[in-house]
Structure formats: structure tokens, C-alpha cells
Amino acid sequence: MQDLLDRAVSYGKAFIHEGRTASYIPELSKVDPNQLGISVVMADGRTISSGDYSSCFTVQSISKVVAFMLAIIDRGEEYVFSKVGMEATGDAFNSIVKLETAKPSKPLNPMINAGAIAIDSLISGKDPEEKFQRLLGFFRRLCSNDTLWYNELVYASEKETGYRNRALAHFMKDISILEGEVEEVLDLYFRQCSIQVDSRDIAMLGAVLAFDGLSPVTGEVLVPKKIARMVKTFMVTCGMYDGSGEFAIRVGIPAKSGVGGGIMAVVPGNMGIGVFSPALDSRGNSIGGVKALEFLSEKMELSIY
């Protein structure tokens, strides 16, 4: 396995020059693009890593997976799906068009920005701080890492420039999808996106999902099986933005990417994978990360199809 990961890192690095780091959040554009780290968490709880696996990055959209599971735990499936749909969109992750044109009027799924912001308004907590602490605590348990915290600079950068997300949130307030105060919900969203991890953390998150909610380290049930399966389904149909279909064909496993350069991938019943490489393709997916996963999928026959 170590050898395979080393080769996946080499293979993926060859494509980094075709991408570029996220520019729409100024703080993200300052990262060194020439990094690629990969970690795998196995059924026995062991972690194997290669490359820049200890480099920190912000989770960004990978956090949508965590927030969605917590919202389902907090509010139940029926209520959550009255606020967000279950279908892929065919539009960009930050598109606002379907909020106006789709019937019924709600975000098409919890993995696009609109849906994820709506999901954040469903997290329980008596005030914004408690909501964030609950989300962070859940995140830490899933990653088996009690030191996770958010990157204040990235958070400030997102909060300052997040006009598109504000547009989505206010639109959803207008159509009665968003609950609570717009700026409070967005603050939670910006903080959760800025949580800082390395590839080992998200490999652990992926492993919990691979084993249907069970921690491969402690054996503890962290997420009900039904919810773990549900979120893996969303990762397949819309986890890689509007490149989800192509990723399903080329790699064939549930995965969620973030514009920070991370990809959290799941081989059901087998292992969790965390990859980090900050140069992105035109859809916002880590270009080296996707290539490394393609390599692993082909060599280890990981496709679920």
C-alpha cells in the first residue's frame, strides 16, 4: 500500500501544472500549489500516508458532508428534505438560477452552496456559538482529532468576500427556505468551511463513512448507518461539483472535494482516503487529487460499479 500511495503521489503531481489555486477567496490563492499529500485509513484503523500528508488546508465544501449528517441527526430526514432536495443540478456549485426556476423552490441538494447554507440553518444550538461548537465537536469526533480549529485568516477572507453566498442566503430567506438570521447562518458556514485539516483527518472521516458510521479506531458508532449511506450517495451524485459524473466514470467511488484542495473519498467496507493538492481544475476540484484517485482506483479496482 505504501508503494501504491507513493506512486499515486508521483502520478498526481504530474498534472498539478494544469490547474491553479482558488482565486475567489484571496487567502486561498496564497498557498503553494506544488503540494500533493495522500492518506488512507484501513479497516484496522491504521493510517498510511505519502507526500505532503501533514500539510494543513481548509476543508471548504468537504464540511458540507459533516453539516448535512448533523442536520439529519438534529432535525430528522423528513424535515431536512423539506428544505433541500436530493437531485444533482447540472449547474455550477454557486449557481442561483434554479432557486428561482425550480418547482418546488428549494436548493436541489445539500452539496451545492445554496443547499449547504440551508442545511446550516438547521443545526441545533441555542445561539450561533453553540451551533458552531456542536458542529466542530462532531467534526472532531469524525476525524478522531480533538485539536481541529478553524483558520481565522481564511474565515475572515471568506466572510469579507462572500457576496455570492450572501445572495444565495437572502434569496432563500425570501422563499422561506432559510431559517434564522442570514448573517448568523453565513457566519457558521464561513467558519465551518475554514476548519483546518490535513489529509489524515479527512481520510479518517472517509473511513467512518466506509464502515457505515463506525469508527475503525474505537469501534464506536459515530453516525447511524442509514445516514452514512445517504451521504455517500450524495457524494456520488454531486460530491465533485459539476464534475461528479465524470469522476464517477473515471474513479467510481463516493468522494467530496473542497476548493481548499482536499478530496475526501470512501471505498465502502474497505477504507477512507484523504487527498490534498491545492491546484484546481475549472470546476473547482483538485486536479492532482483527482488524478491520484484515478490511479489508485485503477490499480486497486476500487470502483463500486
103 is catalytic: no
Stretch that binds its own copies, among 15-23, 143-151, 193-201, 236-244 (CB under 8 A): 236-244
Contact call for residue 236 and its own copies (CB under 8 A): yes
∠27-246-54 over CA atoms, to 5°? Answer: 40
Backbone angles phi, psi at 136, to 5 degrees: -60, -45
Contact call for residue 305 and its own copies (CB under 8 A): yes
User: How many residues touch its own copies (CB under 8 A)?
Assistant: 49
DSSP structure string for 70-81:
HHHHHH-HHHHH
Contact call for residue 183 and its own copies (CB under 8 A): no
Residues 123-182 that bind its own copies (CB under 8 A): 163-164, 166-171, 173-174, 182
Contact call for residue 248 and its own copies (CB under 8 A): yes
Contact 219, 202 (CB under 8 A): no
From the candidates 84, 241, 267, 277, give the one annotated as an active-site residue. 241
241 is catalytic: yes
User: 10 or 237: whose CB is closer to its own copies?
Assistant: 237
Identify the residue among 26, 128, 180, 245 touching its own copies (CB under 8 A).
245
Angle subtended by helix axes 199-210 and 128-143, to nearest 10:
80
Asked if residue 104 has a cis previous peptide bond (ω within 30° of 0), the answer is yes
* Residue owning grid cell 443545526: 123
3-state secondary structure 195-245: EEECHHHHHHHHHHHHCCCECCCCCCECCCHHHHHHHHHHHHHHCCHHHHH
Stretch that binds its own copies, among 14-22, 49-57, 128-136, 244-252 (CB under 8 A): 244-252
Name the site residues for its own copies (rule: CB under 8 A): 85-91, 95-102, 108-109, 163-164, 166-171, 173-174, 182, 229-230, 232-234, 236-238, 242-246, 248-249, 252, 254, 268, 303-305
Provide the annotated active-site residues. Answer: 61, 64, 189, 241, 259
